[in-house]
Structure 1
């Protein structure tokens, strides 16, 4: 008896505490997705990655800055030299100075190829954003499905607790009048406590889902989210005839495949750059020398170039070729992976759909009406407690089967959209 009292007290305190710390927010699935797209920090961070890549693409367009060198400047007066005209004021009559401007000119189209490489990287970051969005959207939608599933479970147990509390109260009165045995009352009371403990367990489960959802939507910790949509089957009917179309769409839309193809392009462009690196750049210079030559003011042109005698960039070229092959294999692996995922998920969807089709549209309402009838007959003692408890187990079991079917269909549908790479 002490154990029963403690459990009831725990239930009451838990419910009161939850109500005090939570600000309930009702939100639809569509509203949640809008908030997610606007506020999720992972998406914001990935968008910044795109901006950074675009900045690098802008930077790649600039030529290298020219280099100015000034040397051979004597800051003290030197005698026994031929006097020269002053440079600044009276300074410079006995001074020497040398200056040079040098400009590096990239050869073999290195600059153009690097600009193209940066554009490929911008494209790759956009595909990365799509991949992050695909992953998070799947998590978001499946989390909302889990919360809806849990909400419906709670409704079932809350309804049964409300009903059985009335029956328990009535049986307690009958027990005091000596009309029933204590065993019957305890059996009913035990069922009531079992339902309440199950309800607590469900509330603890939903807290984990709440944490996930609030993190995705960037909601404050004290908020409590309630999904306002009804828990229903997916709207779209799926047909096996569409399977071949989905396999083709995945090749065009799945971000992981697009990322692999982009990496192939990146590797191919990098090979072009590495081949171009065999050709040395040219540095063109213009120099001025005052007082350091047979001429008072000497201006001369110069050119410098590395001689590719020892380093022909062979190692980097070989590595770039191997990277292309590696990326081609990665693309092929992702293509096979997408096909297997689509087929597997769709088969699971069809199996669950078959179970769903066997459940008549009126079956759930029939269950509810039969439960009401059994409760009434149990109060009137037209049926025994054993018969009532047996039907109650059957009722809850079947309600859970219906909910499980809805949940699995929604999850398989979302997993199929994830595998195809776009909303169906």
Structure 2
């Protein structure tokens, strides 16, 4: 199955289970915010119901037809009223938690996008290596077959044939190792895209240098953007807001809630049908919630330190990744545009001269090592530039 980078990201955004699960976390937080808006339910209690008639009872009017003349009953409805704005503050706290879950989604997305893009880069890198070794294997197999015929005719020594055959086996072993590496990368990529296990993915893009030109003048701007966009920093800032709101709630908890009640009593006192009002509340004599208030204050200080730490970490990461990118870019600029095609042309020339025995096996093998080594330098540079570019987007917190 051939797939491009853009197609992979589209599938990833639509199907990745980690993203779907995190979106459900947001929905759960929104449900808690809705729940926080409701008042506590009133409490209904019924008591003092006699199940049989006692002696010396004072009969009362019937409740239902002839029933109830000797029945006593008491009922009460109680409603708790939250004081000091506890309900409003709790609603605001739940809204802050919804924001926090949204930032968590952005952080999960940032982490997974980096993993996805770097995995695709690794697969492209190994695909390009495969092409190099497959080309060399096809070429050297022809040479080995030709040398085997010459050996049988007694025109060359066995040592020359063995040296060529050893190189062929070495290339094939390297190709097997590359396929094993790609297989491991396939597992990770298919897990990110939620594709069936039998699917084999081939990335249709080529491994090229990043198109965007980066300048050191942008570093300060990236640092400011990171403070506004990096999800881990936004999560820390959200925790500060959460801690501050929690302190408000803990201070409000010093004020006891009030319970208002209305009760009805039939035959329980000097009045036959008594209706009365009542109010109850805790007396804040022993517990003034001091411990929870102190803990909330310390949580604010801790969250501020966490935010400061994440900001410093962000600045250091941006500078470090950018420097690595520039160093690798300087190496890439040393490579001439036509250098790779020149290498390919020289390889064809050396293979032809080797077949015609114009150059020795030692010269051919020496150039073959040089060719593969330089090809790998070019591929390594492209891979590293792509990875550093993606890491830079990761530490800035947005696509550049």
Report the TM-score, using the length of structure 1 for normalisation: 0.94
Alignment of 1:151 with 2:127, yes or no, is yes
Give deviations 1:313-356, integer Å, cap 9, x for gaps.
00000000000000000000000000000000000000000000
The 5 A counterparts of 1:83-232 are 83-232=59-208
Say yes or no: does 1:52 pair with 2:64: no
Mapped partners of 1:249, 1:78: distance in 2? 82
How much does 1:256 deviate?
Answer: 0.3
Three-state SS of the structure 1 residue aligned to 2:200 is strand
2:260 corresponds in structure 1 to: 284
Whole-angstrom CA distance in 1 between matches of 2:66 and 2:335: 105
In structure 2, distance between residues paired with 1:198 and 1:174: 27
Out of 284, 290, 300, the residue aligned to residue 314 of structure 1 is: 290
Aligned counterparts of 1:367 and 1:210: Cα–Cα separation in 2:
31
- Name the stretch that deviates more: 178-187 or 331-340: 178-187
Partner of 1:13: none
Give SS of 1:90's match.
coil
Q: Taking structure 2 as the reference length, what is the TM-score of the superposition? A: 0.99
360, 371, 375: which one pairs with 1:395? 371
Q: What is aligned with 2:12?
A: 36
2:215 match: 239
Q: C-alpha displacement at 1:222, in angstroms?
A: 1.6
In structure 2, what is the Cα distance between the partners aligned to 1:182 and 1:82? 127
Paired position in structure 2 for 1:259: 235
More displaced 10-residue stretch of structure 1: 405-414 or 83-92: 83-92
> 1:266-305 to 2 correspondence within 5 Å?
266-305=242-281
Deviation at 1:89, TM superposition (A): 2.5
Structure 1 residues 294-327: Cα deviation after superposition (integer angstroms, max 9, x where no partner): 1111100000010000000000000000000000
Measured in 2, the distance between the counterparts of 1:321 and 1:182 equals 83
Q: Deviations over 1:6-32 (max 9, x none)?
A: xxxxxxxxxxxxxxxxxxx11111111
Tell me, yes or no, if the aligned pair for 1:78 and 1:95 is still in contact at 8 Å. no
CA contact (8 A) 1:79 1:94 kept: no
3-state SS, counterpart of residue 278 of structure 2: strand
CA distance in 2, matches of 1:320, 1:235: 49
Contact 1:148-1:227 at 8 Å conserved across structures: yes
Gaps of 5+ in 1: 1-24
Pairs aligned (count): 400
Once the two structures are superposed, what CA deviation does each residue of 1:231-269 show, in whole Å capped at 9, x if it has no partner?
Answer: 111111111111111000000000000000000000000
8 Å CA contact retained: 1:107, 1:280: yes
Alignment of 1:379-418 (within 5 A): 379-418=355-394
How far apart, in 2, do the equivalents of 1:133 and 1:354 lie?
Answer: 31
Q: Determine the C-alpha separation between the residues in 1 that align with 2:217 and 2:74.
A: 80
1:358 Cα offset (Å) = 0.6
* Matched-pair contact (CA < 8 Å) for 1:68–1:100: yes
CA distance in 1, matches of 2:64, 2:131: 93
User: SS of 2:83's equivalent?
Assistant: coil
Partner SS for 1:224: coil
Q: Distance in 1 between matches of 2:155 and 2:122?
A: 45
1:78 offset after TM fit, Å? 2.7
Provide Cα deviations, 1:134-159, integer angstroms capped at 9, x if missing partner.
00110000000000000000100000
Distance 1:337 1:406 in 2: 27
> 1:221 deviation in Å?
1.4
Could you list the runs of 4 or more consecutive aligned residues of structure 1 that deviate by over 2 angstroms after TM superposition? none
Which residue of structure 1 aligns with residue 305 of structure 2?
Answer: 329
User: Which blocks of at least 5 consecutive residues in structure 2 are unaligned?
Assistant: none
